[in-house]
Amino acid sequence: MHTEAPERKPNKNGRISFTFVDTIEAAIQQAKQSAGEKDLAVVGGPNVGQQLLKAGLMDELEIGIIRILFGGGSGFSQSNGWETN
């Protein structure tokens, strides 16, 4: 799931398809419909996590912390006013 369409759309194959949406709410709604009665897990970076929290769509949060090896990147707590130590 990704809420920002890339410049070049990825190729589809028999196992994977891509659907681009405008909001995190629309993405979760479509994912829940596809999952049916199964649990839904969302994997993403700080931007996706922040969107889910702001929309009140997250029941559980699991954070894996790894150092940034290349480039600047963005932290989960950036741009939301949270303090980190």
Closest by CA to 45, choosing from 80, 75, 79, is 75
Q: How many domains does the chain have?
A: 1
- pLDDT at res. 79: 57
Which structural domain range is residue 51 located in? 24-55
- pLDDT at res. 55: 94
Write the pLDDT tens digit of every residue in 3-37: 555 666 666 676 777 778 889 999 999 999 988 99
Instruction: Using alpha carbons, list the distances in angstroms from residue 54 to 25, 32, 64, 80.
Output: 11, 18, 20, 9
- pLDDT at res. 49: 87
In a domain, 62, yes or no: no
| pTM value surpassing 0.85 | no
Both structure tokens of 32: 């829940």
In a domain, 38, yes or no: yes
- Give the pLDDT band (50/70/90) at residue 56: very high
Q: What share of the chain is helix, strand, coil (3-state, %, to 5)?
A: 25, 0, 75
